[in-house]
């Protein structure tokens, strides 16, 4: 088998790049270890930067997002003195975000690839990127007892943190930066009316909480929990009771509870791998970087990678210009680290850290009060939240 770009990983990053390239006449093959049904069963974030939304439209996949997505022009921050609203639209110069579940976004991309008869191969095993520094790289995978080889011009690793792509970069070349936080998020998805039309981030002495949503009938809630906790430690009733304790009284009073559709605990970590390219291999999304979900940067950081890769490959195939491909890692990492900083900042400001000394707590509270009292600080938060320019 031969193609121009072989993409490893069938999540939203790989699908989006495949779709964008296909629309420009660039051939791709996409390999995914799991089934389509498995990929679509994963519950992930749903806050999209305005730049990501624009990229979905360019990929001809934005119709349902624009029809069903919730446009949010602000967020709330709850604290011991009440609840304040950050006007994202005002402080970012007119931008906003779209709340649209990653599962639905991925479904739209899958449907678009199927409509265009895109080559998406599921349930592949033992994927191996090979000859990365040569002019003729290739990828092999196993289909039952048969080994299949795909010859290509370039390989894109969009196969997540545990994928094979990053591991294909030699250890003496790759440098990894990681910070593991001493807590996780227990998330519950429920078929209930959201407690608020916009997200509520709650800083509480009992721990952080977040009230989010997927639609007007589907809510997503989170609470900070110790890393030692498991899903089995938390019944639905226990979750709702603890969430209410971390919210302002009037918000807790109007919270609609119900059976959980999905419940999971995600540990929080910050991670960056450098470089994001090696020979003819390019990393994108979680294969190269992970952020705590506090600032909603994870999926959006992946989208910026795809934006840079897409335009770099267009320049290569349409103009014979390789400057974008050569500069991809440096350009992508510059934005990635800004997303890391923002996610780290929101996480450290809003969560309860068990090892904090009283001095740390005072600084944490002061940081929040400064944000709420300063137009300059609100502007900085808003421009990061709605998305820095690509």
**Tens-place pLDDT, residues 84-132:** 999 999 999 999 999 998 889 999 999 999 999 999 999 999 999 999 9
Same domain (yes/no): 261, 274: no
Q: Is residue 82 part of a domain?
A: no
Residue 83 lies in a domain: no
Do 228 and 143 have their domain in common?
no
Residues 109 and 186 in one domain: no
- Please report which confidence band the pLDDT of residue 368 belongs to, taking 50, 70 and 90 as the band edges: very high
Let me know: does 173 contact 50? Beta carbons within 8 Å. no
User: Would you call 303 exposed, middle or buried from its count of C-beta atoms within 10 A (0-12, 13-18, 19+)?
Assistant: buried
Q: Are residues 113 and 33 in the same domain?
A: yes
* Cα 31 to Cα 8, 16, 144, 242, 265, distances in angstroms: 5, 13, 15, 42, 28
The 10 Å Cβ neighbour count of residue 261 is: 14
Q: Are the CB atoms for 61 and 109 separated by under 8 Å?
A: yes
Classify residue 234: in a domain, yes or no: yes
User: Cβ of 85: how many Cβ atoms within 10 Å?
Assistant: 13
Looking at the fold, whether 141 and 276 belong to one and the same domain comes out as yes
Range of 299's domain?
Answer: 5-72+96-178+269-349
* Distance between CA atoms of residues 259 and 246, nearest Å: 20
Distance from chain centroid for Cα 276? 17
Q: Is residue 296 part of a domain?
A: yes
Pair (57, 162) in one structural domain: yes
Average pLDDT over residues 19-40: 94
DSSP string of 339-382, one letter each residue: HHHHHHHHHHHHSPPTT--HHHHHHHHHHHHHHHH-HHHHHHHH
pLDDT higher than threshold 80 for residue 44: no
Say whether both 40 and 160 belong to one domain. Answer: yes
Domain count, the chain: 2
Would 133 be classed as within a structural domain? yes
Percentages (nearest 5) of helix, strand, coil residues in the chain: 40, 30, 30
Question: What are 256-315's pLDDT values in tens digits?
Answer: 999 999 999 999 999 999 999 999 999 999 999 999 999 889 899 999 999 999 999 999
Could you report how far apart the first and last alpha carbons of the chain are, in Å? 34
SS3 string of 97-136? EEECCHHHHHHHHHHHHHHCCCEEECCCEEEEEECCCCCC
Contact between 389 and 50 under an 8 Å Cβ cutoff? The reply is no
Q: How confident is the model at residue 46 (pLDDT cuts 50, 70, 90)?
A: confident
For residue 79, is it within any domain?
no
Give the model confidence (pLDDT) of 224-266 as tens digits. 999 999 999 999 999 999 999 999 999 999 999 999 999 999 9
Write out the two tokens for 227: 């890393």
Closest to 352 measured CA to CA, from 180, 178, 221, 183: 183
Nearest-angstrom CA–CA distance, 117 and 109: 12
How confident is the model over 308-363, as pLDDT tens digits? 999 999 999 999 999 999 999 999 999 999 999 999 999 999 999 999 999 999 99
Tell me what pLDDT residue 144 has: 87
CB 272 within 8 A of CB 288: yes
Instruction: Answer whether residue 89 is part of any domain.
Output: no
The verdict on 212 and 252 lying in the same domain is yes
Is the same domain home to 31 and 155?
yes
Q: Is there a single domain that holds both residue 324 and residue 195?
A: no
Dump pLDDT digits (tens) for 205-235: 999 999 999 888 889 999 999 999 999 999 9
Q: What is the pLDDT of residues 65-90, one digit of tens each?
A: 999 999 999 999 999 989 999 999 99
How sure is the predictor about 41, in pLDDT bands with cuts at 50, 70 and 90? confident
pLDDT at 43: 66
Whether the predicted pLDDT of 42 surpasses 80: no
């Amino acid at each position: 088998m031969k193609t121009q770009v072989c993409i490893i990983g069938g999540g939203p990053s790989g699908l989006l790049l495949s779709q964008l390239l296909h629309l420009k006449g660039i051939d791709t093959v996409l390999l995914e270890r799991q089934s389509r049904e498995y990929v679509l069963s994963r519950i992930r974030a749903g806050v999209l930067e305005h730049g990501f939304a624009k990229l979905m439209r360019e990929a001809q996949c934005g119709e349902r997002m624009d029809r069903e997505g919730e446009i949010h022009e602000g967020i709330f921050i709850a604290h011991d003195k009440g609840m304040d609203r950050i006007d994202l639209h005002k402080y970012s110069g007119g931008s906003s975000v779209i709340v649209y579940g990653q599962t639905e976004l991925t479904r739209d991309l899958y449907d678009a690839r199927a409509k265009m008869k895109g080559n998406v191969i599921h349930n592949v095993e033992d994927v191996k990127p090979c000859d990365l520094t040569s002019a003729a790289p290739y990828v092999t995978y196993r289909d039952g007892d048969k080994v299949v080889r795909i010859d290509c011009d370039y390989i894109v690793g969009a196969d997540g943190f545990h994928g094979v792509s990053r591991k294909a970069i030699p250890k003496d070349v790759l440098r990894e930066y990681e910070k593991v936080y001493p807590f996780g998020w227990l998330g519950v998805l429920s078929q209930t009316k959201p407690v608020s039309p916009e997200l509520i981030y709650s800083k509480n002495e009992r721990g952080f909480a977040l009230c989010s949503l997927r639609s007007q009938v589907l809510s997503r809630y989170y609470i900070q929990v110790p890393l030692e906790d498991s899903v089995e430690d938390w019944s639905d009733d226990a979750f709702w009771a603890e969430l209410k304790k971390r919210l302002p009284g009037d918000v807790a009073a109007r919270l609609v509870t119900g059976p959980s559709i999905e419940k999971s605990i995600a540990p929080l970590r910050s991670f960056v791998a450098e470089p994001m390219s090696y020979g003819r291999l390019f990393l994108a999304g979680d294969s190269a970087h992970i952020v705590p979900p506090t600032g909603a940067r994870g999926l959006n950081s992946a989208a910026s990678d795809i934006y840079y890769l897409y335009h770099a490959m267009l320049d290569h195939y349409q103009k014979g210009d390789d400057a974008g491909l050569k500069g991809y890692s440096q350009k992508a990492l510059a934005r990635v680290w800004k997303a890391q900083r923002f996610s780290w900042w929101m996480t450290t400001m809003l969560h309860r850290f068990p090892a904090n000394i009283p001095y740390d707590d005072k600084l944490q509270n002061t940081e929040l009060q400064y944000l709420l009292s300063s137009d300059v600080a609100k502007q900085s938060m808003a421009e990061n939240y709605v998305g820095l320019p690509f």
